[in-house]
Structure 1
């Protein structure tokens, strides 16, 4: 298997696929919610999806992307302009998910870089404090770009590190 990964704009016809992947995403994330009501299964055996999921297809300040490896669906990315830091940002990585089979070996990094290539500008990635693996992943990605700023918030709206960085149009990340 190669590392050819692409980020493709999701159409409204792709919403069910993203909703299905979102079930896996919530399942993975639920381990960080052990002390809260979040992440509980409904009576139908499904997790509740966020009520604003469809806005990623209709709001011009949001984007839903399918992540594909060699043409096969491996995850999704949901982008928005909501900066947890309160500072200006062109894009925030709202949600990013790679199915377990395709994690490691650089696939997630290649997928994120494919997203960045499509959306240059000032970026922000907020990481839940308990998600140590994601923090290492996003730190590595941020530091492959310019103007890196690391913030740490503990507010009612966000609790965790926030990585801010600039992706230049046409720029290849440094190793």
Structure 2
């Protein structure tokens, strides 16, 4: 299996937006977002930030040349305002989950962007909680911090996020 993490060029923004719709739909079970009258999620309107704002980076995740997900990196922090990078959104399509694709992609971007990282996660998304605990623990050899139920990051559904932080 050949896994690639490739920067999304502006001309492929619509492809990323198509994947983002799937991601938003899946996420709606946790954050309780509705769609508007056009059937769009509000987050879709912020996608342009990843080409227009400094320190915002969109990446496709591909397996054998086929789209398998995406990762969005930015500097919009909930807690650690002096940090360097945050995982804004991370999505692996169901077919590729539990096959090492997400683990590879996460470690790849961590290696690509050296510095201080912040990752927010919804505590009710048990798959995400297990994934990030495992990946970050392995990547940092256990040298990371976690703030559970952080009052500085509240999801749309009122749930306090867990915040993972580390330096690489």
Could you say which residue in structure 1 is the equivalent of 2:161?
A: 160
Paired residue total:
161
Matched residue SS, 2:124: coil
Report the CA distance between 1:18 and its aligned residue.
0.8
Partners of 1:148 and 1:96 in 2: CA distance? 19
Deviations 1:93-128 (A, max 9, x none): 000011111111212111212222221221111101
TM-score, structure 2 length as denominator?
Answer: 0.86
RMSD over aligned Cα atoms: 1.8
* In 2, Cα distance between equivalents of 1:81 and 1:44: 30
Distance 1:164 1:91 in 2: 10
Name 1:113's counterpart in structure 2: 107
Greater fraction of residues in helix = 2
Q: Distance in 2 between matches of 1:101 and 1:129?
A: 23
User: Is contact 1:5–1:114 with CA below 8 Å preserved after alignment?
Assistant: no
- The answer to whether the 8 A contact 1:19-1:49 is kept is no
Q: Where in structure 1 are there 5+ consecutive unaligned residues?
A: 168-175
CA contact (8 A) 1:41 1:47 kept: yes
1:29, distance to aligned residue in structure 2 (A):
0.6
Q: Report matched runs for 1:128-143 at 5 Å.
A: 128-143=122-137
What's the TM-score, normalizing by structure 1?
0.83
Larger displacement relative to structure 2 (113-122 or 71-80): 113-122
Q: Distance in 2 between matches of 1:72 and 1:29?
A: 22
- Quick check: 2:118–2:166 contact (8 Å CA) kept in 1? yes
Moved over 6 A (4+): none
* SS at 2:106 equivalent: helix
**Match among 139, 150, 156 for residue 146 of structure 2:** 150
SS in 2 for 1:143: helix
> Equivalences for 1:11-160 in 2 at 5 Å?
11-33=9-31, 36=32, 38=33, 40-146=34-140, 147-155=143-151, 157-158=153-154, 159-160=160-161
Stretches of structure 2 lacking an aligned partner (at least 5 in a row): 155-159
